[in-house]
A and B are shown apart, each in its own frame.
Chain A
Amino acid sequence: MMSAFFDVLGQYLSDPAMLGLVALGTVLGLVLGAVPGISSTMALAILMPVTFGMEPDAAILLLISIFMSSVYGGSISAILMKLPGTPASIFTQVDGYPMTRQGRAGQALTYALVASTVGGLIGLVILVTLAPVLAGFARNFRSPEFAAVALFGIVMLSFASNGSILIATVVGLIGVVLGAVGFDSLTDAQRLTMGAPMLQSGFNLIPVIIGLFGLGEVLQNLVGFGRTPADTPKIGQISVPLRDLLGRWKVIGRGSLIGTLIGAIPAAGSAVAVSIAYAQERRLSKTPEAFGTGHPDGVVAPEAANSASVGGSLIPLISLGVPGDTITAVLMGALMVHGLTPGPLLFAKDPTFVAWIYVAVLMALVATLVFGLGMIRIAVLVTRIPPHLMYVFVTLFCVIGAFAIRNNLNDIYVMIGFGIIGFSFAKLDLPVTPLAFGLILGPILEENLRRSLMISRGSWEIFLQRPISALLLLLCLAVVVLPLIARWKRRKACRFRL
């Protein structure tokens, strides 16, 4: 495997055509990823026909370059405009956008880029060395484990935002309920649709998060805008002192590990990975209250996890022949056009093909770093746009992005509705992020919980009989109970002093 890897790497590096393809794919991916409403999935799907006439190795290289760079591209709009283009960049925006308002947009983008590159590399190394082991680990994941992971994500989320844990939990549960709207995923029965065909397809995530964060922010800024127009933030420094970057190696490392592991579980996906990575970092931090106000760790951890989860999500694709999420599904579709079908036979039958993928990921990561650094200088100019124009642009992007995701006019209304919700929540001082993640995790939890109970014929013991799900449930319990015990001890100590 290793020799095939280096053969292919040497071959690509000495071929100007291949290098040109990487550059082209990376620039396309960065730009498309940065446009709100064009997700990595769509970027790949739009550009797939371009590769029809290519040799398979060139096609894989181009597609993977687009894929990898669009993952970072999605953070650009999240940081600069508070417009997360993908569910995975929701957390990047939580600390990235405040940094932009403080005139540290360039630094936030640099942090995100470096974390994303390192995370991607760590994910790739694990993919190359441990793919069979991780595939074995992922095989232990059945419905009870999926349900337990989703529950773990929900529990962690309660700790991911500042302020009351109780309020965060309640908001998260509202998200879970909203996630139930539409066709029930197991029986195709309609729920909470109030007979409206518009609600049958449920709330698509992209319009929801664009509305909650993007439009919500614009609405907030419009209040009192006539009297006190917002000022344009300074561009500030772009480069980050090397010491500051290196000092965060632990954060990057932890984020990458979480990203790869969760990415390797089919169907869990990068959104779950980033939420757990972010919440974990905030819990471990000495200054948790600084998260959400522009803490670099809040950008670094989710970015590392997001990029690392790409390596992880390729594991089920390569070893089982099953796409782990929609992005790898598009990638698999594109590979199949070229007659290359990932599957259990692949390692034995066609090691060169696997090497193509690995090398393509590596080259795409490096190219994203190079072009990304160049692009930051141009991208930060966005912050120089006068606020009144900026709000018009952001609103336009919100409308286009919400519509483009599945060409549905209703999604624009959904986006506007959630924009108003985001605005009201901000006015009421309620956290918005748990709502979005309740919406992501709720359906995963519900579907797998119900399926588990169908298998066990109604017995809840199934969650305790299986070691991984039992362990995850124990973790959930620990996360909830340990802070309570700590607080109880503190109180007791106080009483003694009195």
Chain B
Amino acid sequence: MNRRHLLATSVSLACAVLGQQALAQDSYPSEPVHITVVWPAGGGHDLVGRLLGHELSTEMGTPVVIDNVTGAGGTTGMQHVADASPDGYTIGVMGLHAISQSYMNDSAPKLDQFDPLLFISDEPAALEISPDTGITTLDEYVTAMHSDPMSLINGNDPQGGNSFVFASVISNGLGVEPLKLPYAGHAATVTALLTGEVQTATLPLSPVMEQAKGGALTILGVASEERQPQLPDAPTFKEQGYDVVGGDFIMVVAPKGMDAAIRQKLSDALLTASQGEGFVTSATKNGLALRQGGPDMAAQELTAQENVIYPVLLDAGLVTETNKR
């Protein structure tokens, strides 16, 4: 191979690379889109990922693959998204956990490494109580907790999980201090509430929907501005005179640095997919309070949530030194 050959080869290679880049914008998507779900198959995020992926695949005309990249309280999966090339082929489903972990775990990716593309739903916090306690209203609960703080144990996630944050937010709002007993996962917490190991729980509504309808547990308050359409009988904290509003959320993020045209195309397709009839019907059936919005709204919500959660984590002593603001 002489020098001229080498030159010709490098020029043609460069052309090919440049051409591919130009081509990438027009031909996107030309390969499967991967949606990273940081929790195991079967959970709420997994369901959202699969339902959305199903719609997105028809919307974009490309296969959509769900990757459950689990472990380390969601951090492994978020790192996977942050490390991915911002080519529009790797996106991730995330919620409150990513905010908590970004402050609690020094090796977790920071929030500024992500580009929010789609806001899907709110998941307001709620306070559930076992009917065996005989307590049916929020005021009775607060009175009981004031007379004996150890009388009612609360079941929630380990520190940093969403129902742990809920427990902190609700307890602060009500001025009570329950013992927070940690359980690995929402299903385990529901079981503990039903078997009577704990008397209250601070789970979001979807895992307790059927039990609440069946009278196996009572919902004392929901931390949203309005009552939730899927459970209209459950009162809000606000209407009972306690200013407690907060919760988890589900959104879709991509690694930062995506090409503007691809970003536009992807976020448009995501928004359309999340508004499609198939997604809306199944998601609503599963108790999701949908409030779809594009990249701008998603970014605003992320900042707003961060500002709510940071003080809670700081208060619980969970923010590491390097992450203190």
Interface residues of A (CB under 8 A from B): 41-42, 44-45, 48-49, 52, 139-143, 182-188, 190, 197, 200-202, 204, 266-267, 316, 320-323, 326-327, 329-333, 336-337, 339, 341-346, 406-408, 447, 451, 454-455
Contacts and interface: CB of A to CB of B under 8 A. Distances in A.
Contact of A344 (B43, B75, B210): B210
Interface stretch (B116-124, B190-198, B231-239, B261-269): B190-198
A343 to B, nearest CB: 3
B276 interface: no
Contacts of B29: none
Contacts of A345: 210, 213-214
B240 to A, nearest CB: 26
A266 B42 CA distance: 16
Interface string B49-62: 01101100000000
A454 B54 contact: no
B41 A41 contact: yes
Contacts of A321: 190, 210-211
List 10 tightest A-B contacts by C-beta distance, closest first. Answer: A201-B71, A343-B210, A329-B42, A45-B41, A330-B42, A200-B72, A201-B72, A345-B214, A197-B107, A344-B214
A331, A345, A407, A451: which has the most chain B beta carbons within 10 Å?
Answer: A407
Contacts of A343: 209-211, 213-214, 216
B272 interface: no
Nearest to B215: A344
B79 A320 contact: no
Interface stretch (B133-141, B181-189, B295-303): B181-189
B292 interface: no
14 contacts: A45-B66, A52-B54, A183-B72, A186-B184, A187-B182, A197-B79, A322-B187, A329-B43, A337-B282, A343-B213, A344-B210, A406-B70, A408-B76, A455-B153
A294 to B, nearest CB: 35
A443 B72 CA distance: 15
A407 B50 contact: no
Interface string B32-53: 0000000011110011001101
Contacts of A202: 71-72
Interface string B169-212: 00000000001011110011011101111000000000001110
A53 to B, nearest CB: 9
B110 interface: no
A187 B181 CA distance: 10
A330 B107 contact: no
Nearest to A185: B184
Contact of B191 (A320, A330, A339, A407): A320
Given A41-B42, A267-B187, A333-B42, 8 more contacts: A45-B50, A45-B68, A188-B73, A201-B70, A323-B42, A327-B42, A333-B47, A343-B213
A142 B192 contact: yes
A41 B70 CA distance: 14
Interface of B: 40-43, 46-47, 50-51, 53-54, 66-73, 75-76, 79-80, 104-105, 107, 153, 158-161, 179, 181-184, 187-188, 190-192, 194-197, 209-211, 213-214, 216, 278, 282, 285-286
A324 B66 CA distance: 24
Contact of A185 (B42, B67, B158, B192): B158
Contacts of A188: 73, 104, 158-161
B15 to A, nearest CB: 33
B195 A141 contact: yes
Contacts of B66: 45
A472 B286 CA distance: 39
A336 B50 contact: no
B317 to A, nearest CB: 11
Given A322-B190, A345-B214, A447-B184, A333 B46 contact: yes
A333 B37 CA distance: 15
B73 A183 contact: yes
Contact of B40 (A186, A320, A326, A341): A326
B206 to A, nearest CB: 9
A339 B230 CA distance: 13
B50 A49 contact: yes
B151 to A, nearest CB: 13
A270 to B, nearest CB: 16
B41 A339 contact: no
A143 B197 CA distance: 8
Contacts of A339: 285
Contact of A341 (B41, B68, B104, B210): B210
A332 B76 CA distance: 25
A339 B282 CA distance: 7
A262 to B, nearest CB: 15
Nearest to A141: B195
A417 B70 CA distance: 20
Contact of A408 (B40, B69, B73, B286): B69
B71 A408 contact: yes
Contacts of B216: 343-344
Given A337-B286, A344-B216, A407-B69, A142 B210 contact: no
B222 to A, nearest CB: 19
A337 B51 contact: yes
Contacts of A267: 187-188, 191
B49 to A, nearest CB: 10
A320 B192 CA distance: 11
Given A45-B41, A330-B42, A182 B72 contact: yes
A186 B184 CA distance: 7
A330 B214 contact: no
B41 A44 contact: yes
A48 to B, nearest CB: 6
Contact of A326 (B41, B71, B210): B41
A407 to B, nearest CB: 5
Contacts of B211: 320-321, 343-344
B165 to A, nearest CB: 12
Nearest to B75: A200
Contacts of A45: 41-42, 46, 50, 66, 68
Contacts of A52: 51, 54, 278, 282
Nearest to A316: B191
Contact of A42 (B41, B188, B194, B210): B41
A186 B51 contact: no
Contacts of B68: 45, 406-407
A332 B42 contact: yes
Nearest to A197: B107
Contact of B71 (A184, A200, A320): A200
A204 B72 CA distance: 11
